[in-house]
Chains A and B, each alone.
Chain A
Amino acid sequence: EAQVTQNPRYLITVTGKKLTVTCSQNMNHEYMSWYRQDPGLGLRQIYYSMNVEATDKGDVPEGYKVSRKEKRNFPLILESPSPNQTSLYFCASSRKPPGGGSDEQFFGPGTRLTVL
């Protein structure tokens, strides 16, 4: 089954304790992206990757790191989490259309993070 998986689904942690949220897709997609969803703010893009070893900042990258060493994986790293990073996080992937344009994103189920 084609899917995007995220782990963990729920996480409660404390300020300053480094954490990683994993994201994996099995569709051989070139593009991957991380978003955070907050009430009243919709989804905001944190980082994106256009292929292996190619990442770039979205609108809200502060406090986050990413890496793309393999095509299927795109982990999100919070080196020193703070309470304002409490949010619902989504990973997404999409194909790079051979003729240009843009394909739809496939989203993971979300990770609910609470930083105390």
Chain B
Amino acid sequence: AQSVAQPEDQVNVAEGNPLTVKCTYSVSGNPYLFWYVQYPNRGLQFLLKYITGDNLVKGSYGFEAEFNKSQTSFHLKKPSALVSDSALYFCAVRLGTSGTYKYIFGTGTRLKVLA
């Protein structure tokens, strides 16, 4: 079965430290990969995406993610965390099959940045 895994329910990091939120996927074909962020009582907001090309993609608010095909991973990173980064983060895969708009989301990782 095709799936997206976010192995950590919660990640705690001190302000100013680097952060990593992990995502691995298991899908057939070449997936399109996304990260979204959800702040309390809000909808999801797009952070970044990998479609093709450079394995390191840069996104909004200083976030970046590294696509690793051999490990089927797409971890989200930021060099220096801010308290305002505290939120719920979702990794998502759009299946690459043409003619479909199917998405699979991970279960989410709550990031807490401690002052």
A contact set with B: CB distance below 8 Å: 4, 31, 33, 35, 40-45, 48-50, 56, 58-59, 90, 92, 101-102, 104-110
Contacts and interface: CB of A to CB of B under 8 A. Distances in A.
Contacts of B43: 4, 90, 107-110
Interface of B: 6, 32, 34, 36, 42-46, 49, 51-52, 90, 92, 94, 99-108
Contact of A102 (B51, B104, B107): B51
B87 to A, nearest CB: 14
A45 B103 contact: yes
B65 to A, nearest CB: 13
Contact of B105 (A40, A42, A102, A106): A42
A4 B52 CA distance: 27
B104 to A, nearest CB: 7
B51 A101 contact: yes
- Determine which residue in A49, A105, A106 has the highest number of CB atoms from chain B within 10 A of its CB, and name it: A105
Nearest to A104: B46
B5 to A, nearest CB: 10
Contacts of B101: 31, 33, 48-50, 56
B102 A48 contact: yes
A101 B52 CA distance: 8
Nearest to A96: B101
A91 to B, nearest CB: 9
B21 to A, nearest CB: 13
